[in-house]
Amino acid sequence: MDEGTGELLAVSVLAERVGWATDLVAALVAGLLADRWKPADVDVLASGEDGGGRKLPLNAWMALRRLGWSGSPPEGIRVNDRIVRMAQEQAGRLLRSAKWRADLTTGVLKVWPVDPGRRTPEEWGAVREVVPGGRDLPSSVITSRTRQIAAFTRKHDRMPVDLFEMEAAPTAARVLLLSACDGQQATIERHGTEPGRALLRVQLPTRPDPRSYRDWTWVSCPLTLPATVPAGAVLHLPTLRPYQGRVRADLAYTHAVPKAARSGHTVALGVDWGLNTLLSAGAVRLHEDGRITALGAGGMFRTGGVLAKQHRLRRQGEYLHAKAGHYKRLTTGDERHPLAAKHTLVSDGIAHVFARRSNLNDALAWAAARWAVDQAITAGATVIFVEDLRSMEAHGMGRTMNTRLSQQVRGRIVERMRHVAAETGIAVVTVPARDTSKQCPQCLTPLRHCKAPDRPTTPGWKWAICQNPDCGWQGDRDQGAWQRIAARGLAHQPKTVTDRTTGALAIRAVVDTLEAGAVITPTVPNTSRDRSKTGPTRHKHTRPTPRRRRTPSPVGPSGPAGQRPEGHAHTDRRRLPRAAHRHQDVTTISTPTTSRYRPRGAALGAGFHLHAHATPPRWENIPESDAMSDTGSPNWSETLAPPAAKL
């Protein structure tokens, strides 16, 4: 509602006004970045001190004002000081983030390898010594920066000087960072009687080019808070962004959570990574005598269909990039060229594919993190041990498989996992990935991998068999891996350290003396059954009524109403969605074939929820109800994205 006139604003009108404000802020940000995209200015801002040696404020907009970097709107445009604050905050964040990339580029240039496509171990050690955080930096980050420098060298026949010569100033996003404002620009408060409602008041322009302060008016926006926001949480000013004709509010809130312990854990959840089986997890228990036993067979989070869609979008994006480059070479920058319109159309398609891939990765990360934390809550675990794969690269498995492994969203999943686990006080610790899939979880003997348990002589990677005759363990490779990860984490608890900058918990190295005790002690299942007679023997009929599943079912419904289908088939939907009739699989993505066999369900592309599968784990010694009564996975709409209020 427009508080000045009392007019109720439609959603489209609100989105239009927010769009006008974001355009004004984006113009100011572009001007600041164009003036300050220099090595000297970025170094001064990142140093944390001004010219007089005083410490710069933590807020980016305050730091820019201390340095005297202020932007001004175009002539004739009237904006208040809070709009300039939001522009300075956004520009300051972008300039501060450029410092790390600039130091990384400088380090790679300083120790340039003889062959940019393949570094020697000595060259890898040299580059990790000079780049910031090189010891724990993923190899893929250094490799991608090396390829960027090599591409610049091939194009210009010389090496670049620094990052600022290779990359232009970044483009500012169309958002309103209300966190940089005060009560004169925006306020937010909860509804008095309804804890799930809040009211956001913000000043917005009434025209795209406001000429005076009369062209700005207060607008009241009621917010519907998601169910994930606790009733007692403190709300902070959100970030507004126009999205498909509507307005999204990225709402931040603060509330107290239990503190996660760094050590002293007795029940832990081990998480192993895979390709089609994205996560394999299971719980183990550390006993007082030092023995470690597994609690059940664990579970798996399979996302073959989601990854198939992701790789299809990747190939589509590569094709569109090649096509856009061809149009750019033909048009030579002439906007009146007949192919200029096609180049614009292809560029829009690239942005659309990129947005779809980003949304799919984000949804996958939240779903996988929520599933892993639910397994820990169910088993009563107080810590989650995750394999640290930052320094590992995908190689030796073919070009297609290497690309799929390299583009997994592992880092994002771990970040989301830490966020979700913090709600219940569960610690997330990364452990080294050395030999987690190569050694037996019960005796640490090297495993022999084969195709399947009934094909022990066929080379493969799925099934693992222990070569120790006294042990004889065999099982799924991923199942043995999560047991090794969990046992290693419990044995190395005294070596857990906290990162000073991020606060993340990690075990840096493997100690041989502690590793010797990181084995799973097999438990003998109790197969005996109490056969004591507790009542009269039930009479058995000589000709029992056949079960419902044995009764024949019709081939298809004969009309609006018919016999119930056989088994667990749903009666409210006679056919799968339209998208489910495409023949899509993890390795085969093509049009429908003429073969009689056609897979149905998740492998056919019927959406994200029919693509992701999680096997229910078979837990042993399930804790009492005091741990958590509701341990099932929450609704997808509550777990796939961070809290976002609806306007």
The CATH number covering residue 633 comes to 3.30.420
What secondary structure letter does DSSP report for 16?
H
- Assign 89 to helix, strand or coil: helix
In this structure, are 81 and 190 located in the same domain?
no
pLDDT for position 449: 87
- Res 581 pLDDT > 50: no
Residue of 177, 195, 199 lying closest to 187 (CA atoms):
199
Helices (H), 172-268: none
In this structure, are 517 and 386 located in the same domain?
yes
pLDDT for position 598: 45
pLDDT for position 637: 34
Buried/exposed code over 422-437 (b: 16+ C-beta within 10 A; e: otherwise): beeebbbbbbbbeebb
In this structure, are 158 and 300 located in the same domain?
no
- Is residue 364 assigned to a domain? yes
Interatomic CA distance for residues 432 and 440, integer angstroms: 16
For residue 186, give every residue at least 6 positions away whose Cβ sits within 8 Å of its Cβ, in sequence order, or none: 82, 178, 200, 201, 202, 203, 237
CA 605 to chain centre: 21
pLDDT for position 453: 83
Residue of 260, 292, 491, 277 lying closest to 376 (CA atoms):
260
- Assign 188 to helix, strand or coil: strand
- Is residue 321 assigned to a domain? no
Q: Would you say 99 and 46 are in contact if contact means Cβ atoms under 8 Å apart?
A: yes
The winner for highest mean pLDDT among 266-270, 392-396, 575-579 is 266-270
Give the CA dihedral 421, 424, 427, 428, nearest 10 degrees.
-10
Condensed to tens digits (0 to 9), the pLDDT of residues 354-392 reads: 989 888 888 989 999 999 999 999 999 999 999 887 655
Condensed to tens digits (0 to 9), the pLDDT of residues 294-329 reads: 998 889 998 878 878 888 888 899 999 999 999 989
In this structure, are 92 and 145 located in the same domain?
yes
What secondary structure letter does DSSP report for 446?
B
- Is residue 362 assigned to a domain? yes
Q: Would you say 309 and 360 are in contact if contact means Cβ atoms under 8 Å apart?
A: yes
Interatomic CA distance for residues 385 and 382, integer angstroms: 10
Q: Would you say 466 and 257 are in contact if contact means Cβ atoms under 8 Å apart?
A: no
In this structure, are 73 and 204 located in the same domain?
no
- Res 269 pLDDT > 70: yes
Interatomic CA distance for residues 271 and 278, integer angstroms: 10
- For 291-351, the DSSP string reads -EEEEEEEEEEE-HHHHHHHHHHHHHHHHHHHHHHHHHHHHTT-TTSTTHHHHHHHHHHHH
- Is residue 489 assigned to a domain? yes
What pTM did the predictor assign? Answer: 0.72
Compare 193 and 359 and report the one with higher pLDDT: 359
Backbone angles phi, psi at 485, to 5 degrees: -65, -45
Helices and strands (H, E) in the chain, number of each type: 14, 21
For residue 91, give every residue at least 6 positions away whose Cβ sits within 8 Å of its Cβ, in sequence order, or none: 28, 29, 32, 33, 36, 60, 64, 71, 172
Percent of the chain with pLDDT over 90: 44
* Amino acid occupying residue 1: M
Condensed to tens digits (0 to 9), the pLDDT of residues 505-554 reads: 999 888 989 998 899 998 766 555 666 777 788 777 666 655 554 445 44
Interatomic CA distance for residues 137 and 411, integer angstroms: 12
* Amino acid occupying residue 542: T
In this structure, are 496 and 392 located in the same domain?
yes
Residue of 521, 525, 524 lying closest to 292 (CA atoms):
521
- Assign 254 to helix, strand or coil: strand
- Is residue 581 assigned to a domain? no
pLDDT for position 610: 59
Expressed as residue numbers, the domain containing 619 is 267-305+357-437+477-523+614-646
pLDDT for position 377: 94
Domain count, the chain: 3
Q: Would you say 273 and 281 are in contact if contact means Cβ atoms under 8 Å apart?
A: no
Percent of the chain with pLDDT over 70: 79
- Is residue 628 assigned to a domain? yes
Residue of 577, 582, 601, 607 lying closest to 593 (CA atoms):
582
Interatomic CA distance for residues 250 and 275, integer angstroms: 32
Q: Which of 166, 196, 217 is the last residue of a domain?
A: 166
- Is residue 585 assigned to a domain? no
Helices 410-422/340-379 angle, 10° precision:
50
- Res 173 pLDDT > 80: yes
In this structure, are 422 and 490 located in the same domain?
yes
In this structure, are 290 and 389 located in the same domain?
yes
Cα diameter, the chain: 99
In this structure, are 405 and 500 located in the same domain?
yes
pLDDT for position 407: 52
Q: Which of 144, 166, 188 is the last residue of a domain?
A: 166
Q: Would you say 496 and 429 are in contact if contact means Cβ atoms under 8 Å apart?
A: yes
In this structure, are 72 and 153 located in the same domain?
yes
In this structure, are 47 and 75 located in the same domain?
yes
pLDDT for position 206: 93
Residue of 639, 644, 645 lying closest to 366 (CA atoms):
639
Write down how long the chain is.
647
- The tokens of 342 are what? 């096609």
DSSP H or E segment with residue 458: strand 455-459
Helices (H), 504-640: 512-515, 636-639
In this structure, are 276 and 300 located in the same domain?
yes
Interatomic CA distance for residues 265 and 382, integer angstroms: 6
- Is residue 225 assigned to a domain? yes
CA 150 to chain centre: 30
Residue of 373, 325, 417 lying closest to 633 (CA atoms):
373
For residue 645, give every residue at least 6 positions away whose Cβ sits within 8 Å of its Cβ, in sequence order, or none: 198, 223, 224, 225, 226, 238, 249, 251
Q: Would you say 280 and 482 are in contact if contact means Cβ atoms under 8 Å apart?
A: yes
Mean pLDDT along residues 215-219:
94
What secondary structure letter does DSSP report for 618?
-
